[in-house]
Each structure stands twice: as C-alpha cells, then as structure tokens.
Chain A
Amino acid sequence: MEILMSILIGFLFMAAVYLILSRSLLRIIIGTGLLSHGTHLLLLTMGGLGGKAAPVLTEGVTVKDYVDPLPQALILTAIVISFGVTAFSLVLAYRTYKELGTDNMDLMKGTEDND
C-alpha cells in the first residue's frame, strides 16, 4: 500500500513541478495546489498506513488497532495553512492581472525596459 501511495505522490509532485515551470500564472497556482496535495498525502503515508480503527476512543478496540493520530493533526494544520496561502496568491494573481494586464510570467521580468 505504501509503495502505491509513494508512486501516486511521485506523480503528483511531477505534475506540480511541470505546472509550476509553465508560463501562465493560473497554471502555476494549480501546480502549487497539486504540490500541497502531494505533501499532505506524503505526511499521511509516512505516518504508516497500518491500523484499523480511526483514532477515536471506542470500546472494544485495543491500542494497537488505532491509526497514528499525529500525522492527521499535522495534515490538518498544513491544509489550513496552504488554504490561506492559496487564497492569498489567487487574489494576488487577480490583482496582478488587473494591474499589469498579463498573466504571462515571461512578461513580468524586472528589467529596466520592462517596468
């Protein structure tokens, strides 16, 4: 199971890197979204995928059967943080498009004739 997840996460990272390297601003932001998905799945996988019961105290379930609760808490934190950052960067992209009139990263170079 872990192997399968690793391959999937690898594909997510690959797609994210490809998209981040593209010119259009929106594709870059989609890329960062994929990157954070990959990251969160990776956290889940690295915590181990064994365990049968959700980490909620229930009668009749022994300690060994619970999944590791820590990675889930970490992922939850990381998700809201990346939500915040993504929302900010989307608004920033919108504002930039309005102000500069382009979403092409090639036209956003900081050279003297291109200010």
Chain B
Amino acid sequence: MINLLLFPVLIPFLFATILLFFPKKVKAQRVITTLGLLTALVSAFALLWKVKTDGVQSLTLGSWAPPFGITMVSDMMSTLLVTSSLLIALFVVWFSFTSIGIKRETSFYYPAILFMLTGVNGAFTTGDIFNMFVFFEVLLMSSYVLIVLGGEKVQLRESIKYILVNVVSSSLFVITVGYLYSIVGTLNMADISIKLAAIGQAGIVTVIAVLFLIVFGIKGAIFPLFFWLPGSYAAPPIPVLTLFGALLTKVGVYAIIRTYTLFFTTDIGFTHELLMIISILTIIAGCIGALAYFDVKKIVIYNIIIAVGVILFGASVMNESGMMGSIFYLIHDILIKGALFLLIGVIIHITGTSDLRKMGGLIKRYPVLGWSYLIAAFGLAGIPPLSGFIGKLLIVQGGLEGELLWQSIFILASSLIVLLSAIRIFIYAFWGEEKGVQQVQPRTYRHLLAPTITLVVITVLYGVGSEYLVPFMTDATTVLLDPSVYTDAVFGGGK
C-alpha cells in the first residue's frame, strides 16, 4: 500500500465531492460526512502504524524521480497532526448535528469542512513548498466559506478582514517561494534542504527565513501578526470556531517548525534567536489578552495565542527535549482547544450569552458540564496527570538545557496566567447565584454534551497515557533534528 499516505488527504476530498450533489438531504449529509471522517481516521491510524514500523514514508506522484515530481512525505510529526486533525473534525461534526442549525447544514456546511480537512492534511503531508501553498489556499478558501456561512452582520464584517489578511499573506508566500526558487532552483523540500545546506551561511537565506517566519506567522498568529485573530475567530458559530481554533493556527506553526528544522539550520544564532524572542512576546501578548476580557470566546481565543508561543519556544531551542515537548504540546493543544471551545459552546448555548458577567451558578443544574470544564481547564494549564503537563515540562527542560533560564521561568509563569484565565470562567459561570440560566431541552443538552465529554476524556487519556506516546514523539523528534533522515527518505523512496 504505497499510496497509504495519500488516503487522509484524498478520502475527505472524495466524500466532500460526493456531498456536493445533494445539499438539501441533511440526514444523508450527516451520515456520509461521519462515514468519510471515520474512514479517513482509520486510514490515518494505519498510516501512523506504518510510519512507526517502517520509518518515514514518501511518495513522488506520477513515478517521477524525486526532485522533479511532487513528493508527499509522511514523517511521524505530520502523521500525528493528520490523525489529531481528523479526530477533532469528527467531534466538531458530531457537535454540529445539534448546534449548527438546519439552514447552514443545507448550504454546503459539511463539504466545506471536508474540503478544509483536505487542505489541512495536505499541508501537513506535502513535501513540496509550492504544493504547500496550494494546500494552504485549499484550506483558506474553505475557511472563508465557513467563516461567512450564515451571513450575519458580524460574520460579514469580520470575514472581510480575515480574507484580506490571508490574501496578503498568501501573496507574501508566493513572493517568498519566488525568492527561494531563484536561489536554489528547486521546489522539493528535501532538495531545498540539501541545496541550502550546500550554500551555507549566505545573507539572503536568512532574509528568506525571516520572510517565511512572517508568512507563516500571519497564519499561525505570532506576535506582532496575531492582530486579525481575536476579531475574526469570535465571529463564526462555535463548531466552526472550534475547527479554526484547533487546526488553522497549528498549520502555520507546523510550517514554521518544518521550515526552521529542514531549511534554515545554518544561521541558527540569528533565525532561532529571533523565533525565540518572538515566541516569548507572543506569550506575553496572549496572556494580556486572556486576562483582559470578560468574554468567554475571547479568553480561549487568546489562549490559542499563548499556546502558539509556547510551542514555538520549544521548537526554537533546537534540542531534543525542547523539540519533543513542542510536539507533545502541539497535539495536546489541538485536542484541548477543541474540548474547551466545545465546552464553551455548551455554556453559551445554556446561558445565551458569552459575557461572563451575565452568567453564574450553572454548577447546580449542570454539574457534569461544570466538572468536565474544570478538568479541561486543569489540562490546559498543565496540572500533572493531565495532558498539558508533559509537553510543558519537556519544553522548560529544553529551555534550561539551552541555558535560557529567564525564558523558561516565563513559560512557567504563563501557565499560572492560563490557569487564572480558565478558572475565571469557572468561577464566574459555575459559582455564585444562578443567573442567565435558560431552560434548555434536556435532549439538546445531552446531544451537545456527548461529543464534548468524549473529547475531554480523550485529552485526559492523552495526559495519563503519555508514557505510551513517547516512542512516537521520539521518532518525530529524530526526523526534525536530523534533516538527513527526511532527505534520505525522499530520495530513497522513489526507487
């Protein structure tokens, strides 16, 4: 099964195309979407197993010799990301059944989600820099549709800004690819890596590295390029927000990690120092935002920015523990942000508002929701048995090994602020006198709660069972720290 690594990309695409034919049949749409996601998820797990046993998988389409065709590469990191993005999408779709409303469902909502997954998984899997641009556009186009679908005033207003920012960053991406092509004369990522290593420490390479940081930084919301994110993400309905918050910024983060470990390894003193400073500033900006708002959506949205900073800090130190911590934290963050946004979606559904000051005392009527929120909040902050702990521990350890004492202290301090911001939601929404509690139908509530609780349970399992995940993470780290494993796989895989 040499084509196995294409299945997580192709299966959502195939099912999305099928769904386009009968937009009004909601039942069929739901069933086929779930079926498609489950199939894709099974193939992703099969791929995960394959990569674990046989090492990095690569496939050059059309049987061309590697640098000339488009190569798709699945190393452990991209496979883990593909698997977790499909997992999140499954829960989002499950949640959407009750929450998104029939009007959106009949307007190509599910095809848009599946097309977006095609883009996300393609961007994770591709081994060609221009192909990555194309997959970025696939996911961005679908995200434009998802963010504006429904056509409320706030959605229209914010999606204009979102599209504008992304159009500019896409242009910048093409410009940067153009510069890179003029230097190395190739687009294959493994080939670029070899050619750039041969060029060595040229000034123009560093300039291109910084340009890539800007391009992917706009997608991944780093300081000072995160300005578009809080407004735009607050506009769409909760399931869409969950999908965006869990996946879209992570594609940018993945692209930064990929380019900074594969391409730009010759002038680490400058590029990675810059990345480190920016990641610290990102954390600070996110912390300020997370404490400043009384809006539950905004609080969690700013927590996305903090997590992006933490992940990039781990990647910037370029040693084994830091990198491994980054990957642990990246997967954790996809899962926990998914869970948190869904939990907040249930809270907003019950209270009818996202303003913390207008809610209170939910714990009496909705204890299960309350306690699972508390668990998710602890997981987010990184309390030991839960999922955020091991990643942050390794990142701090990596920072200390790289003799970055203050920065590591910053990471630890940011956890406190994350905890504070998450607990504030708990205190305001669940404690105190009952107010703003509306009577929701118990059936709707149960249907909303089921996917949410399952996702929280998965994050808990991720934390408790992190010991079993260590071999996977070690594999991912090895490829990231040693680009020759990647290039060997690409140029050896075409035989």
Residues of A within 8 A of B (CB): 20, 25, 28, 32, 35-36, 38-40, 42-43, 45-48, 70-71, 74, 77-78, 81-82, 84-85, 88-89, 92-93, 95-96, 99-100, 105, 108, 110, 115
Contact = CB atoms under 8 A, between A and B. Distances in A.
A50 B167 CA distance: 30
B224 interface: no
A100 B156 contact: yes
Contacts of A42: 174-175, 178
B199 interface: no
Interface string B177-195: 1110110000100000000
Given A39-B174, A43-B178, A92-B148, A74 B130 contact: yes
A100 B187 CA distance: 44
B3 interface: no
Contacts of B163: 85, 88-89, 92
Given A81-B137, A115-B153, A96 B160 contact: yes
Given A43-B174, A47-B181, A110-B231, A100 B153 contact: yes
Interface in B117-166: 130, 133-134, 137, 141, 144, 148, 151, 153-154, 156-160, 163-164
Contacts of A93: 160
Nearest 7 CB-CB pairings of A with B: A46-B182, A46-B178, A96-B156, A43-B178, A39-B171, A108-B157, A39-B174
Nearest to B172: A39
B174 to A, nearest CB: 5
Given A71-B181, A88-B144, A99 B156 contact: yes
Nearest to B136: A81
B168 interface: yes
Contacts of A81: 134, 137, 170
B164 A95 contact: no
A96 B157 contact: yes
B156 A95 contact: yes
B167 A85 contact: yes
Q: Is the interface of B mostly helix, strand, loop or mixed?
A: helix
Contact of A77 (B130, B151, B157, B182): B130
A82 B173 CA distance: 13
Interface in B259-301: none
Contacts of B177: 43, 74
A85 B156 contact: no
Interface of B: 130, 133-134, 137, 141, 144, 148, 151, 153-154, 156-160, 163-164, 167-168, 170-171, 174-175, 177-179, 181-182, 187, 231, 234
B249 to A, nearest CB: 20
Given A47-B182, A108-B160, A88 B231 contact: no
A91 to B, nearest CB: 10
8 contacts: A32-B167, A35-B168, A43-B181, A88-B163, A92-B156, A96-B157, A108-B160, A115-B154
Contact of B168 (A20, A25, A43): A20
Contact of A100 (B134, B157, B168): B157
A78 B172 CA distance: 12
A20 B164 contact: yes
Given A28-B164, A85-B163, A39 B153 contact: no
A74 B144 CA distance: 23
Contacts of B171: 32, 35-36, 38-39
A70 B69 CA distance: 11
A83 to B, nearest CB: 11
B164 A32 contact: yes
B168 A110 contact: no
Contacts of B179: 46
Given A20-B168, A35-B167, A96-B160, 10 more contacts: A25-B160, A32-B171, A38-B171, A40-B174, A46-B179, A74-B130, A77-B134, A89-B160, A100-B157, A110-B157
A111 B178 CA distance: 39
B154 A88 contact: no
Q: Which of B134, B164, B167, B175 has the most CB of A within 10 A?
A: B167
B158 A110 contact: yes
A77 B159 CA distance: 24
A95 B151 contact: yes
A39 B175 contact: yes
Given A20-B168, A28-B164, A110 B130 contact: no
A40 B171 CA distance: 9
A82 B182 CA distance: 22
Given A100-B156, A110-B154, A78 B174 contact: yes
Contacts of A92: 144, 148, 156, 159-160, 163
A45 B181 CA distance: 11
A92 B167 CA distance: 14
Contacts of A45: 178
Contacts of B144: 85, 88, 92
A105 B163 CA distance: 14
A39 B178 CA distance: 9
A42 B410 CA distance: 42
A74 B133 CA distance: 10
Contacts of A47: 178, 181-182
A77 B148 CA distance: 25
Contacts of A46: 178-179, 181-182
A20 B165 CA distance: 10
